[in-house]
Amino acid sequence: MTENRALDLGGTVLFVDDQPARQASLLRLFAAYPAVRPLTAPGGRAALGILKRFPVDVLVACQNTPGLSGNDLLSVCRRQYPEVEQVLLPQPWKQETLKKRVRTALANASRQRRMARLQAWAGSAASRFPEAAELLARLQASDRPAVVHSWRVAEATRLFGEELGLNTADLYAAALLHEGEKLALRLPGGPRIASWIRHHHERFDGSGFPDGQRGSGIPLGARVLRVADGYAEMAGTGATEAMCLQSIMQGAGTEFDPRIAKLFVMRVLQLAAAGKPPA
């Protein structure tokens, strides 16, 4: 993920500052990014209370706060909440510098969540195929755009694959390997997974490749991958979520299976209403 996109995907950021005017300035600074959910605390003790009650992605602490200094607060946070990214607020702070540091912290938090999900997937899949550990190692070793794209596709399939009666572990593996048909053949159930991968460039109207399959003649898993891949590809360009979903609906019936496209868009909107990014 690029740092610029991190503010669009958002997360919960806790700002700790005892000056109401500075708190208001911080809130105004990030008001242009609706996916960023800001919380404020007047001091270190209050911040620890919030961290105990609410999931927080990034903690931004002013150095001179009552009760606990910024450094002391971050030290406690590292011990008790190691998953929370931390930023020490410089004094005086400049808007662009702070935005850049928060962007970086949100991007790091997103990577942590991504790796946690991949590790959970690899752990559950390890008993089914040893290649899970190899695949996870490859993904952890690189954050190249192609790898990030594969992860986005995999995460998108999690939204609705189970509702369509598909094996979610197989679908997740297919998404991670969706440009690697040969490696997929090594997995249990490999021919089915490889078939999904082979045909995920087919279009619902029959104008795709490699075989020009159409409609229900395209394997269901491939139709799911097609929607997830289309969403992830557009998201990777920095397009807003609304633009990505509009593109999916515009392609329903031609590029995408309309039933799957509608289901996917509904699931993304449900997550958005709950304040959770799809990936």
> What pLDDT is stored for residue 195 in this prediction?
84
Q: What is the mean pLDDT of residues 29-49?
A: 88
> What pLDDT is stored for residue 115 in this prediction?
64
Q: Model-level pTM?
A: 0.56
> What pLDDT is stored for residue 271 in this prediction?
76
Q: What is the mean pLDDT of residues 53-74?
A: 87
Residue 143 has pLDDT above 60, yes or no: no
pLDDT tens column, 114-141: 666 656 655 665 555 555 556 556 655 6
Q: Residue 127 has what DSSP assignment?
A: T
> What pLDDT is stored for residue 238 in this prediction?
73
Least confident residue range of 2-6, 20-24, 127-131, 249-253: 2-6
Residue 8 has pLDDT above 60, yes or no: no
More confident residue, 68 or 263: 263
Residue 279 has pLDDT above 60, yes or no: no
As a CATH number, domain 3-110 is 3.40.50.2300
Do the two domains 3-110 and 126-273 of this chain adopt the same fold? no
Token pair 């509009």: residue:
246
Burial 34-48 (b: 16+ CB within 10 A, else e): ebbbbbbbbbbebbb
Sheet holding 11-16, edge to edge: 36-41, 11-16, 58-62, 85-89
**Token couple for 170:** 């197989």
Count of C-beta atoms within a 10 Å radius of residue 49: 11
48 pLDDT band, cuts 50/70/90, is very high
More confident residue, 69 or 219: 219
pLDDT tens column, 225-268: 999 989 888 887 777 888 889 999 999 999 999 999 999 999 88
Q: Do 77 and 60 meet the contact criterion of CB atoms below 8 Å apart? A: no
> What pLDDT is stored for residue 36 in this prediction?
86
Residue 14 has pLDDT above 90, yes or no: yes
Distance of CA 220 to the CA centre of its chain: 24
The residue ranges of every structural domain in the chain are: 3-110, 126-273
Q: Do 45 and 1 meet the contact criterion of CB atoms below 8 Å apart? A: no
Q: Which amino acid is at 132?
A: A
The closest alpha carbon to 73, from 31, 41, 45, belongs to: 45
**Token couple for 173:** 């593996």
- The dihedral built from the CA positions of residue 181, 184, 189 and 193, taken in this order, carries a sign that is negative
> What pLDDT is stored for residue 131 in this prediction?
57
Give the pairing type, strands 36-41 and 58-62. unpaired
The closest alpha carbon to 125, from 177, 80, 198, 179, belongs to: 177
CATH fit for domain 126-273, picks 1.20.1600.10, 1.10.3210.10, 1.10.10.10, 3.60.150.10 = 1.10.3210.10
Residues 6+ away with beta carbon under 8 Å from 231: 152, 156, 244, 245, 247, 248, 264, 268, 278
**Token couple for 168:** 């979610």
The three-class DSSP label of residue 147 is: helix
**Token couple for 65:** 């706060």
Q: Cα angle vertex 84, ends 83, 86, to 5°?
A: 135
pLDDT tens column, 145-186: 666 667 678 778 877 777 888 887 778 777 777 655 444 445
Question: Half-sphere exposure of residue 109, counting CA atoms within 13 Å on the CB side?
Answer: 28
Beta bridge pairs of residue 89: 62
More confident residue, 46 or 186: 46
3 pLDDT band, cuts 50/70/90, is very low
Q: Residue 217 has what DSSP assignment?
A: G
pLDDT tens column, 70-117: 889 999 999 999 889 999 887 777 888 888 888 888 888 877 776 666
* Mean pLDDT value across the chain: 80
> What pLDDT is stored for residue 184 in this prediction?
45
